[in-house]
């Protein structure tokens, strides 16, 4: 199609902010918004905390929350803590991991920092371009003397290749800790994500589907590791005056656990809302050359909390970063989770080696708004803008060159 024909076709559809009209949305459309529909149940529960004055130190809400999460994820032990990052650190300490930890670079910086913070060294490996999770082949290639743990990430709720990763860890006699920060309610081949490997962690940060404001949890089927993690979470106390080992304060508060408990009954609604939105995105993004909706691996059921697309500039005509700027100019706050890869960020870049898939994907990745707070009608507008922009690539690129649009 000629440029002029394209232009005609799209003039008939919708204009863009670069045509001089105001942004498509008067208020920012966030990539996600914290679940806030459990307010009444939460307030009722926390009223009880004020009656009893019990706010922390392994209180009844924390215990109930742990039981409910363990049951949901089909795992014996759940130890609630005050963040996903703390959960990673405590799990690594419980397994007495020292030295080097093999992990994908394509993850939130918290994964790498948790290892470094406890004195370990992350060794970064590449990802599978289809699943965006650890490439077991590359993990084997990067394996080196001193690696004592593999830390794969079930990113966006996509399950890793558990069979191959467990095979590696068993052959090499090294531990596995899965970062399942995104995985509440996710499963793989009919099994809930949570029990694979030695330990796993979840995050209940306010940006996660089920949240406790800040929060996290350690999951394991290993009684001894669960015991260790519980000790570490509370300074190693085994009684009022006995301290058995080095520990820290990793406890979840009663208020946080109460919000988790109050929100759990809404989980089916959250999943359904995400599913409806994903189906719509699928329909509306289909056939936009260069825009690919990232699918979870076969057999993997995600919670749909992240709506992830890849932008292939060669085909779409616009780079991911230009599309990102355009969306922000339209008040659509898409996010580049996770660009750049950890290996390219300051604390790690000095020793970094090339990770071609991570580098390519982190140039292409874009997370679009979803969740119950994203109106169905706004998804049509978002997809319309993405379609229109691709068809008017020259215009958009010229606007990007000339415009002063600044985004964070
Ligand atoms: N491993 C992985 C793979 C992770 O992704 C994370 C965390 C961790 C480990 C560590 O878990 P935690 O220690 O955090 O529990 C967020 C979160 O801070 C972080 O938890 C998360 N991953 C990471 C992917 O994203 P930002 O910088 O994107 O958040 P922010 O403030 O820009 O908000 C994003 C969206 O959420 C906005 O659209 C607004 C909305 N929002 C945000 C907040 C803070 C709300 O609706 N309510 C809120 O209170 O980092």
What does the pLDDT average to over 26-44? 94
| Cβ partners under 8 Å of residue 298, min gap 6 | none
The reported pTM is 0.95
pLDDT of residue 10: 42
Q: Are strands 175-179 and 147-150 parallel, antiparallel or unpaired?
A: parallel
What is the C-alpha separation between 305 and 209, in angstroms, rounded?
6
Which tokens go with 289?
């050359």
Kindly calculate the radius of gyration of the chain based on its CA atoms and give it in whole angstroms.
22
Q: Give the residue, out of 151, 207, 212, with the most ligand 1 atoms within 8 A of its beta carbon, to mutate for a pocket test.
A: 207
Ligand 1 contact, 117 CB (< 6 A): no
pLDDT digits (tens, 9 = 90+) for 19-34: 999 999 999 999 999 9
Which tokens go with 192?
């809930």
Tell me which residue has its CA closest to atom 35 in ligand 1: 32
Distances, alpha carbon 324 to alpha carbons 151, 271, 309, 346, 361, in Å: 30, 26, 12, 23, 15
pLDDT of residue 350: 85
Ligand 1 contact, 333 CB (< 6 A): yes
Ligand 1 contact, 31 CB (< 6 A): yes
Tell me, in angstroms, the distance from the centre of ligand 1 to residue 91's CA. Answer: 21
Q: Are strands 100-104 and 147-150 parallel, antiparallel or unpaired?
A: parallel
Tell me, in angstroms, the distance from the centre of ligand 1 to residue 208's CA. Answer: 7
pLDDT of residue 5: 38
pLDDT of residue 290: 98
Ligand 1 contact, 278 CB (< 6 A): no
pLDDT of residue 3: 44
pLDDT of residue 26: 95
Task: Tell whether the model's pLDDT for residue 114 goes beyond 60.
Answer: yes
Q: Are strands 191-192 and 187-188 parallel, antiparallel or unpaired?
A: antiparallel
pLDDT of residue 176: 98
SS3 47: helix
pLDDT band at 12 (very low <50, low <70, confident <90, very high): very low
pLDDT digits (tens, 9 = 90+) for 261-290: 999 999 999 999 999 999 999 999 999 999
Other beta carbons within 10 angstroms of residue 227's beta carbon come to 16
Q: Is 356 exposed, middle or buried (0-12, 13-18, 19+ CB in 10 A)?
A: exposed
pLDDT of residue 352: 77
pLDDT band at 1 (very low <50, low <70, confident <90, very high): very low
Task: Tell whether the model's pLDDT for residue 205 goes beyond 90.
Answer: yes
Task: Tell whether the model's pLDDT for residue 11 goes beyond 90.
Answer: no
Ligand 1 contact, 216 CB (< 6 A): yes
- Count the alpha carbons within 13 Å of 354 in the hemisphere toward its beta carbon: 3
pLDDT band at 9 (very low <50, low <70, confident <90, very high): very low
What does the pLDDT average to over 161-168? 97
Ligand 1 contact, 337 CB (< 6 A): yes
What is the C-alpha separation between 163 and 283, in angstroms, rounded?
33
Ligand 1 contact, 122 CB (< 6 A): no
Task: Tell whether the model's pLDDT for residue 408 goes beyond 60.
Answer: no
- 6-15, 147-156, 171-180, 252-261: least confidently modelled range: 6-15
pLDDT of residue 404: 66
pLDDT of residue 405: 56
Q: What is the largest CA-CA distance in the chain?
A: 80
């Amino acid at each position: 199609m000629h440029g002029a024909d394209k232009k005609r076709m799209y003039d008939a559809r919708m204009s863009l902010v670069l045509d001089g009209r105001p942004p498509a949305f008067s208020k920012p459309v966030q990539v996600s918004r914290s679940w806030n529909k459990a307010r009444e149940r939460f307030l009722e529960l926390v009223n009880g905390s004020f009656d009893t004055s019990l706010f922390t130190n392994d209180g009844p809400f924390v215990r109930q929350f742990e039981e409910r999460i363990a049951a949901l994820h089909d795992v014996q032990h759940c130890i609630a803590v005050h963040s996903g990052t703390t959960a990673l650190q405590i799990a690594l300490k419980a397994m007495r991991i020292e030295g080097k930890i093999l992990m994908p670079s394509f993850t939130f910086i918290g994964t790498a920092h948790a290892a470094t913070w406890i004195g370990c060294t992350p060794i970064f490996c590449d990802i599978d371009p289809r699943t965006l999770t650890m490439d077991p082949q590359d993990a084997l290639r990067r394996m080196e003397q001193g690696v004592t743990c593999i830390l794969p990430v079930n990113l966006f709720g996509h399950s890793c290749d558990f069979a191959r990763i467990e095979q590696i860890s068993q052959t090499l006699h090294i531990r596995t800790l899965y970062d399942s920060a995104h995985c509440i309610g996710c499963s793989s081949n009919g099994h809930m994500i949570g029990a694979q490997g030695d330990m796993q962690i979840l995050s209940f940060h306010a940006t996660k589907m089920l949240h406790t404001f800040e929060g996290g949890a350690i999951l394991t089927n290993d009684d001894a590791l669960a015991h260790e993690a519980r000790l570490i979470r509370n300074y190693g106390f085994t009684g009022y005056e006995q301290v058995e080992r080095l520990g820290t304060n990793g406890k979840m508060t009663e208020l946080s656990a109460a919000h988790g408990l109050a929100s759990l009954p809404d989980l089916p609604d959250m999943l359904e809302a995400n599913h409806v939105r994903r189906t719509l995105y699928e329909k509306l993004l289909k056939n936009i050359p260069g825009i690919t909706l990232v699918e979870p691996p076969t057999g993997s059921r995600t919670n749909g909390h992240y709506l992830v697309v890849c932008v292939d500039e060669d085909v779409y005509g616009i780079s991911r970063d230009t599309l990102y700027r355009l969306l922000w100019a339209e008040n659509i706050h898409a996010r580049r989770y996770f660009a750049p890869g950890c290996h390219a960020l300051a604390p790690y870049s000095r020793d970094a080696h090339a990770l071609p898939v991570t580098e390519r994907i982190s140039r292409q990745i874009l997370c679009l708004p979803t969740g119950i707070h994203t109106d169905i009608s706004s998804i049509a507008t978002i997809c319309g803008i993405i379609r229109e922009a691709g068809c008017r690539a020259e215009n958009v690129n010229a606007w990007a060159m000339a415009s002063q649009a600044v985004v964070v």
